[in-house]
C-alpha cells in the first residue's frame, strides 16, 4: 500500500502573470501554469516524476528543506 505524502509548494507570479511553483522539500522540483489550478496540476505531475526518478535510482527521497513560514517586514 502506497502512503500519500504531503509537500509544500511555494507559489509566485512572474512579470508575465504566469504562476510558478517550487516544491521546497525536493531540490529542482518546479513547474508553472497560467492559473493556480493549472499550476497545482502541473506541480503534482512534477513531484510524481521526481519521486519516480528517485525510485528508479533505488535511493530514498532526500528531503532538502523544511518549510517554516512566511513573514512580511516593513522597511522605511
Q: Which domain holds residue 56?
A: 1-76
CATH number of the structural domain spanning residue 13? 3.30.160.250
34/60: higher pLDDT: 34
Are the beta carbons of 61 and 54 closer than 8 angstroms? yes
Q: Indicate the number of domains in the chain.
A: 1
Beta strands, E only, 17-63: 19-23, 30-33
Confidence tier at 1 by pLDDT (50, 70, 90):
low
Enter the C-alpha cell of residue 31. Answer: 513547474
Q: Model confidence over 42-55: pLDDT tens digits?
A: 999 999 998 888 77
Collect all residues with Cβ–Cβ distance below 8 Å to 38 and sequence separation of at least 6: 19
Q: Model confidence over 11-37: pLDDT tens digits?
A: 999 999 999 999 988 888 999 999 999
pTM of the model: 0.77
Amino acid at each position: 500500500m502506497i502512503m500519500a505524502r504531503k509537500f509544500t509548494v511555494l507559489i509566485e507570479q512572474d512579470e508575465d502573470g504566469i504562476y510558478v511553483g517550487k516544491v521546497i522539500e525536493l531540490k529542482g522540483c518546479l513547474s508553472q501554469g497560467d492559473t493556480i489550478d493549472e499550476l497545482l496540476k502541473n506541480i503534482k505531475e512534477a513531484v510524481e516524476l521526481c519521486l519516480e526518478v528517485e525510485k528508479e535510482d533505488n535511493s530514498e527521497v532526500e528531503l532538502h528543506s523544511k518549510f517554516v513560514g512566511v513573514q512580511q517586514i516593513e522597511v522605511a
